[in-house]
Amino acid sequence: MPYLTLALAVLAETIGTTALQASAAFTRPLPSLIVVIAYGLAFYLLGHALKVFPVGLAYALWSGAGIVLIALIGLVVFGQKLDLPAVIGIGLILAGILVIHLFSNSTPH
């Protein structure tokens, strides 16, 4: 269950960041409202995940997964292309998430 809570926090943060791009610097009301609601939900869920995960680990997983998802959404939805160093960096983030998940004794399995 803690991973589901953290995954939902990542999803909410990703929705909030996507809406932030669509809000045009908070000049569009609906995307701006979505930003506030989604980030509020993201932090609420992250707070619940912190009951199980150490804060450094939870934040690393939350922000790392969010970075990967936002980069993909930026590419698909907004046409924001990444160069090779950015793709390599994102691959390293994914590798770090996998190492934490598969090998760390600090996370629930």
Confidence (pLDDT) at 43: 97
**Mean pLDDT, residues 44-49:** 96
User: Considering the domain boundaries, does residue 82 fall inside one?
Assistant: yes
Domain range for 99 is 2-103
User: Considering the domain boundaries, does residue 41 fall inside one?
Assistant: yes
Tally of structural domains, the chain:
1
User: Considering the domain boundaries, does residue 91 fall inside one?
Assistant: yes
User: Considering the domain boundaries, does residue 30 fall inside one?
Assistant: yes
| Cα distances (Å, whole numbers) of residue 37 to 32, 62, 63, 65, 73 | 9, 17, 18, 20, 19
Span 87-96, pLDDT tens digits:
999 999 999 9
Which pLDDT band, with edges at 50, 70 and 90, does 57 fall under?
Answer: confident
* Both tokens assigned to 56: 């450094």
Confidence (pLDDT) at 17: 96
User: Considering the domain boundaries, does residue 109 fall inside one?
Assistant: no
Which pLDDT band, with edges at 50, 70 and 90, does 109 fall under?
Answer: low
Is it the case that residue 108 has pLDDT exceeding 90?
A: no
Query: How far is 65 from 67, CA to CA, in rounded Å?
Result: 5
Question: Cα 100–96–17 angle (5° rounding)?
Answer: 105
